[in-house]
A = this chain, B = another copy of it.
Amino acid sequence: MSVTNTAVTAQVAGTIPDGPCGDDDCGIRDVLDRLGDRWTVLVIVELSRGVRRFRELERAIPGISQRMLTLTTKRLCRDGMVERIAYPTIPPQVEYRLTETGQSLAAAISALADWSREHKDHIADARRHWDAEHGD
């Protein structure tokens, strides 16, 4: 009865604003729906290292299929994160590069990657503990 109505909102000061995030997700979901799939982040990371051709991306990202690479780059182009430059040569040559917006996204991803590196051991430990207690 104590926590129900008078919400304790002082936990993470200034982290997630209340205003625009009221009921919806302030658009985070749009971004995470992209970042959440298996390949988008890897493509962005690879492109953050420089311009890449289709085949270069494919080789740089082990396990990706042509289909998924096509879909991923296409979606990133659609969202304005990646620019696609096709040279009408034979054989065809297509270059992909991050736009400015794409580069700023890469920076944001990098921040999340930093967080991952800092906490991955802690997470692994937590999982082991949990699995040990709940799996016996």
- Chain A interface (Cβ within 8 Å of chain B)? 3-4, 7-12, 15-16, 18, 20-21, 23, 25-33, 35-38, 41-42, 45, 48-53, 56, 62, 77-80, 95, 97-98, 101, 103-113, 115-117, 119-120, 122-123, 125-127, 129-131
Contact, CB under 8 Å: A111 / B110:
no
What chain B residues lie within 8 Å of A104 (beta carbons)? 115, 119
With A12-B98, A41-B29, A50-B8 known to touch, is A115 a contact of B105 (CB < 8 Å)? yes
Contact, CB under 8 Å: B98 / A48:
no
With A3-B51, A50-B10, A130-B78 known to touch, is A112 a contact of B112 (CB < 8 Å)? yes
Q: How far is the CA of A41 from the CA of B24 in the complex (A)?
A: 12
* Number of this chain's copies in the complex: 2
With A112-B31, A112-B108 known to touch, is A117 a contact of B11 (CB < 8 Å)? no
Closest B residue by C-beta to A107: B15
Contact, CB under 8 Å: B126 / A115:
no
Report the minimal beta-carbon distance from A57 to chain B, rounded to whole angstroms.
12
Report the minimal beta-carbon distance from A100 to chain B, rounded to whole angstroms.
10
